[in-house]
Amino acid sequence: MSLSTSVEMKGREAWITLAGELDAAVAGEFRQAIEQVAEQKPEKLVLFVSGLQFMASAGLRVLVFAKQQMGREVSIYVVGASGPVLNTLQMSGFDQSVYLQESYP
Amino acid sequence: MDTRIDFYPTHQHGSYKLRPGRAFPFGSTLVPGGVNFSISSGHATACTLVLFEKGAPEPFVEIPFPDAFRIGNVWCMVVFDLDYERIEYGYRMDGPWDPGAGHRFDRSKILLDPYAKAISGRTQWGKHPDWNDIYPQRARLVFEDFDWEDDRPLETPLADLVIYELHTRSFTAHPSADVKHPGTYAGIAAKIPYLKELGVNCVELMPIFEFDEFENSRANPLTGEMMFNYWGYSTVGFFAPKAGFAATGPFGMEVDELKNLIKELHRNGIEVMLDVVFNHTAEGNENGPTLSFRGIDNQTFYMLTPEGYYYNFSGCGNTLNCNSPVVRNMVLDSLRYWAAEYHIDGFRFDLASILGRAPSGAPLPNPPLLESLAFDPVLAKCKLIAEAWDAGGLYQVGSFPAYGRWAEWNGKYRDDIRRFLKGDDGMVPVMAERIQGSPDLYGWNERGPTASINFITCHDGFTLYDLFAYNDKHNEANGEQNRDGGNDNHSWNCGVEGETDDAQVNALRQRMIRNALAILLVSHGVPMLLMGDELGRSQRGNNNTYCHDNELNWLDWTLRERNGDLFHFTRKMIALRHAHPLLRTGEFFGTRRSPADIIWHGTQAWKADWSADSRALAFMLRERQAGQGGNATPVLYMAINSFWDALPFELPELPADYHWHLFANTSLPAPDDIQEPGQEIPLQENLQSFLVGGRAVVILIGRPRPQA
C-alpha cells in the first residue's frame, strides 16, 4: 500500500491528510507537500493521520524538516494518530514538539 | 546549502555522479545533494564503496574510489542523488593477505565502516539473522536533526552523584515491568518515576554500542535454552547505538529513541553514563569473523604478537591497539560524538588499563590516549571512570594515570567492605580508609575522594542479596561446569547456602544487606548501586550472568511490593546522602579545603580499637566552623558492629544545645529500621551508650534541641 496525500489551505491553516504507509519510498511526496504549503506561510500546520498505518524514520524526518522549515512559531498539530504511528511519535520524543490530538478542530 | 551551485559532480561511475570527497569527518556524512564517504586504511591498496538497498541480498552498485579521491591513507568521495533513507553501505578493501606481517585483507568480504552511526542486521533483539547474508551487519546513514530544545549534559558535581548501574534489556524485560515496550530504551523512559523515587541521579548503562547478541550464542547444555552474548561487552561499532535495545529499531529509529530517553532523564535530573568497551572488538582472534577492523587495517587496529597473532589482554580474543595514533583518534572521535551528539554525561571504561598499554602490550607510564581524553575540550565536563585493571594482569586501582580527571571503580572498596561485613580479622583500619574515600589510594597526586567510585556489587559478581545468601558461585547454568566467574567473592551465606525458610537466617540476610547499603551511602567517594539491589534481586548464586536472557538477569518488578521495606531503606539512605553535604564534600576529611572532619570511636568514645580482632568501629562527622577556633558541630555518628553479638557503643558527648537523633538501626525490624531524613527520633536524655545489635549498624544525627 502506498501513501496518499491531500493538501488544502483553510485560511492561514495548512491541512494535510495522509493515508497509507509513510515509509522511505514515499517520504519525498510528503516532503513536497510540506514545501508546497510552507510557501503559503501558514500559521498552523494540521496533519490528519488517522488513515496512516505506519510511519518509518523517513516520515519522522519529514516532520522534523517541517518544524525546521516553518520555524518554531508555527504550531504543528497531528490529528488522529493511533497504533504504531502514535508509538513512533512518542518513543522518538516528537510528541513533545507537536500537538497530538484525537480530533480537530 | 541546498542551492549552492559550486557543489557539483565532477566524475561519473555508470549512472552515479561523484566528486572527490572531504577526508574529514570520517564515516558517512550528508552533504548538499549527496553523501560524503570517508574511510582510512594504512595498508590497503584500493577501496570500493558497496551500496545496498535496505535488506537486499546483493548490492545494487559497487563504486571503486578513483585514484584521485585518495588523500594520504584516506579514501573520500561524494556520491550524489542517493536515496539516503533506503541505503546500506560497506567497503571492500584490496591489500595483502600476510598474517605473519599482520595483514588480513580479503576482497571477498564486505566490511562495516568503523565510523558507522547506525547498524542494521540486529535491529530486533534475539531475532535469528540470515546466516548466509554476505554483509550481515550493515552501516546506515543517520540524520542529526534531533530536537534537543535546551537540553545539554547536566554537569552534576561528581561528588553529588548516586550512580545506578543497569542493563537496558534487564531493567524492563520482565513481564512484571508492565511497560509498553519491554527491554528497551523506551522501557527505561517509562520507569523514570521509579528512579526518581529511589533518588539516584545517574544511570550507568551497561554497553549500548552495537553488539551482536548472537556472538558465541549456543544452546544451554542443561536446558537447551539459547544463551546469548547478553551483556554486550563486545563492540561491533563504536558510534552506533544497539538497535535491538530500541522498540523502534526495526523502523531504523534507535538513534531518536535513545536521544529521547537521554533528554527525558536529563529533564528529571538524572545523568546518563555509558559503559564503553574499547579494549577489544567482536571480531575475536584469528578464528573469528571478519566484520570490519580486521579487513580494513588489521595491523593498525589490533595489538599483534611479532608473529602476527592477537594479543589477548581482554580475555576476549583480541585487544584493540588503543595507543596507535589512528585508533587513539577513533576512540576520541567516538567519545566526542557521544558527548556532543547524544549529550552523554560520562563514561565508564571497561578494562581501562588496556588503554594504557603500548602497541607492544607493555604498560605505558604516560599513556597518550588517557591523556588525550583527560584534556579533550569536548569531553572537558564529562565524567571519566576507569575499570582500573585488565585481564592481562595489570591492576591499577589507586595508580591509574589520572591527569586530575579520571576516577576509578574502587575494587578494593568492594573487597574490603565485603570482608569486614562477613567478619574477617584485621579489617577495622582498612575500613576507616574506605569510609573516608580511600585516602590511602587517592590521597596523593592531587586526587580526592571522588576518584573513588565506591561499590559493593556491580554486574560482575554476586548481587547484594546473593552476597549474603551464597558462600560459593553457582554458575552451572552458564554451561561451563561452574568454572567461569570469579572465586574471590568474599561472600557469606549467613548459615544456609541459597534459599531457606529459616526466619533467623533470612532476618540476618536482610540486616547484612542494610548494613552494606548504609556503609556504601555514608562513605566518602561516589556510591554506585547495582540495579535491583534495592529490591533484593537474586541471580540464584550465579556470579557471571553474561549469557542469560531470562529471569537470572531480568529485574522482577514484583519485588517492589514483596521487598518494599528494603526499597524504602535504600531510598531513605540515598535521601540522607542528598540531605547532608558533609557526606559528599569532594575533599578528604580534615584536609585544608575540607569543610568537615571525622573523629574515630569504638565501643569507647574517642578511642577506636584498631586491633586485628576488633570488629567494631564508629565515627562522627563534624562540620568545621570558620573563625571559631576549631569548633566543630557534630552532624552524624555511625556505629558499625560486625561482631556476632550486641556491643554497647559509648556515645561521644555533644555540645550542650545539641542532641542525638536515631536515623537508622538495622537491628530493628522494618519500618523501624530507618526514618525519613529530618524526622529522626530523639534519643532519651543523657544516654551514655547505645547497644548496637550483633552485625548491625546505627546512624545518629546530631541536631540542636528543639526550642522549649
Q: What is the DSSP letter of B674?
A: B
Indicate the helix (H) or strand (E) that contains B193. Answer: helix B192-198
Flag whether residue A75 sits within 8 Å of chain B, measured between CB atoms. no
B312 and B283 Cβ atoms separated by less than 8 Å: no
For B69-90, how does the pLDDT look when each residue is reduced to its tens digit (9 = 90+)? 999 999 999 999 998 888 999 9
For A21-68, how does the pLDDT look when each residue is reduced to its tens digit (9 = 90+)? 888 778 888 888 888 888 888 999 999 999 998 888 788 888 888 888
Whether the pLDDT of residue B493 is over 90: the answer is yes
User: In this complex, do A24 and B85 lie within 8 Å of one another by their Cβ atoms?
Assistant: yes
Percent of chain B with pLDDT over 90: 86
| Phi, psi angles (nearest 5°) of residue B477 | -65, -15
CB-closest option in A25, A56, A68 to B251: A56
Its sign, for the CA torsion B21, B22, B24, B30, is negative
Q: CA-CA distance, B443 to B449, in Å (whole number)?
A: 8
Cβ-based contacts of A76 with chain B (< 8 Å): none
Considering the four listed CATH numbers 3.30.365.10, 2.40.37.10, 3.20.20.80, 2.60.40.2140, the one that applies to the domain covering B158-165+193-229+249-548+563-582 is 3.20.20.80
User: In this complex, do B251 and A65 lie within 8 Å of one another by their Cβ atoms?
Assistant: no
Three-class DSSP labels, B443-494: CCCCCCHHHEEECCCCCCCCCHHHHCCCCCCCCHHHCCCCCCCCCCCCCCCC
Flag whether residue A88 sits within 8 Å of chain B, measured between CB atoms. yes
Is B350 noted as a catalytic residue in this protein? yes
pLDDT (0 to 100) of residue B570: 98
The ranges of chain B annotated as CATH 2.60.40.1180 are 591-704
CB-closest option in A64, A88, A94 to B251: A88
B518 and B512 Cβ atoms separated by less than 8 Å: no
For B387-439, how does the pLDDT look when each residue is reduced to its tens digit (9 = 90+)? 999 888 899 999 999 998 999 999 999 999 999 999 999 999 999 999 999 99
Residues in contact with B3: Cβ distance below 8 Å, sequence separation at least 6, in sequence order: none
For B173-219, how does the pLDDT look when each residue is reduced to its tens digit (9 = 90+)? 999 999 999 999 999 999 999 999 999 999 999 999 999 999 988 88
Quick check: bond before B655 cis, omega within 30? Answer: no
From residue B565, give the alpha-carbon distance in Å to each of B458, B519, B561. Answer: 22, 18, 9
Average pLDDT over residues B122-129: 95
Q: CA-CA distance, B87 to B54, in Å (whole number)?
A: 5
The domain that holds A14 is classified in CATH as: 3.30.750.24
User: In this complex, do B253 and A91 lie within 8 Å of one another by their Cβ atoms?
Assistant: yes
Supply the CATH classification number for the domain B591-704. Answer: 2.60.40.1180
Assess: ipTM above 0.90: no
Flag whether residue A57 sits within 8 Å of chain B, measured between CB atoms. yes
pLDDT (0 to 100) of residue B1: 45
Number of domains observed in the structure of chain A: 1
CA neighbor of B401 nearest in space, from B335, B446, B359, B460: B446
The ranges of chain B annotated as CATH 3.20.20.80 are 158-165+193-229+249-548+563-582
Range of the domain at A84: 4-101
